[in-house]
């Protein structure tokens, strides 16, 4: 089983993340930020991997440190669980419609972190979640996991729909990319190594 877990403590947050890429039964998210819990649960469910996240952050300030630090630790845990990346598809892509909104994500588990992010949100807050943190989360996640991540809202109106479409699309793209494919010999790169 491809599993990993990590605990990270700073003066701003205490984060515990565990994932299991080969068993999706256990998904439990508790960050203290309701909308963010909703998004992480969608990410795991559509990614078809097990994920537990516990975060105790400085929410009396705002949700910034908590959301960013969960992105950091989640990226690190995913990278560790993927191990030598042998036989994984490596690439994943997904369009996700959400009523009037259409989201798109294309990613490569490349070892070359990059974020291309193209989305704007009219609503600055959803509950206690600041919508500008969506980009911060994806940035932290892509850079710590070593994933080349392109995320875009093609069109839409409702902020909740737009963000939800991006998280679902990321989950679905990850589900494809992390999947072991018996047709692939070794690492899916002519280089023979993905770091």
- Least distance to Mn ion from the beta carbon of 158, Å? 10
**Closest CB to Mn ion among 39 and 142?**
39
The size of the interface with Mn ion (CB under 5 A), counted in residues, is 1
> For residues 162-181, which are near Mn ion according to CB under 5 A?
164
**Closest CB to Mn ion among 130 and 164?**
164
Instruction: Give per-residue burial for 89-112: e unless 16+ CB within 10 Å, then b.
Output: bbebebebebeebbbbbbbbbbbe
- Least distance to Mn ion from the beta carbon of 181, Å? 31
**Closest CB to Mn ion among 37 and 164?**
164
- Token pair listed for 26: 């256990």
**Closest CB to Mn ion among 69 and 164?**
164
- Least distance to Mn ion from the beta carbon of 39, Å? 8
- In terms of Cβ atoms closer than 10 Å to its own Cβ (0-12, 13-18, 19+), residue 126 is buried
Choices 67-75, 137-145, 158-166, 179-187; region in contact with Mn ion by CB under 5 A: 158-166
Mask 116-155, x = binds Mn ion (CB under 5 A)? ----------------------------------------
What crossing angle do the helices spanning 34-47 and 159-178 adopt, rounded to 10°?
Answer: 30
- Least distance to Mn ion from the beta carbon of 35, Å? 8
d(C-alpha 161, C-alpha 80), whole Å = 31
- Least distance to Mn ion from the beta carbon of 101, Å? 11
By the criterion CB under 5 A, which residues form the site for Mn ion? 164
């Amino acid at each position: 089983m491809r599993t990993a877990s990590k605990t990270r403590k700073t003066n701003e947050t205490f984060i515990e993340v565990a994932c299991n890429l080969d068993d999706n039964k256990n998904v439990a998210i508790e960050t203290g930020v309701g909308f963010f819990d909703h998004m992480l649960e969608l990410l795991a469910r559509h990614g078809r991997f097990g994920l537990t996240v516990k975060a105790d952050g400085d929410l009396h300030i705002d949700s910034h440190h908590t959301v960013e630090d969960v992105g950091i630790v989640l990226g690190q845990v995913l990278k560790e669980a993927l191990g030598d990346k042998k036989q994984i598809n490596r690439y994943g892509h997904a369009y996700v419609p959400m009523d009037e909104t259409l989201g798109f994500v294309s990613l490569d588990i490349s070892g070359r972190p990059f974020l291309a992010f193209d989305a704007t949100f009219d609503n600055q807050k959803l509950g206690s979640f600041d919508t500008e943190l969506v980009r911060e989360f994806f940035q932290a996640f892509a850079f710590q996991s070593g994933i080349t991540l392109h995320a875009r809202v093609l069109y839409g109106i409702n902020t909740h729909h737009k963000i939800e479409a991006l998280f679902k699309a990321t989950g679905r793209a990850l589900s494809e990319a992390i999947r072991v494919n018996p047709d692939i010999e070794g690492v899916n790169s002519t280089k023979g190594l993905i770091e």
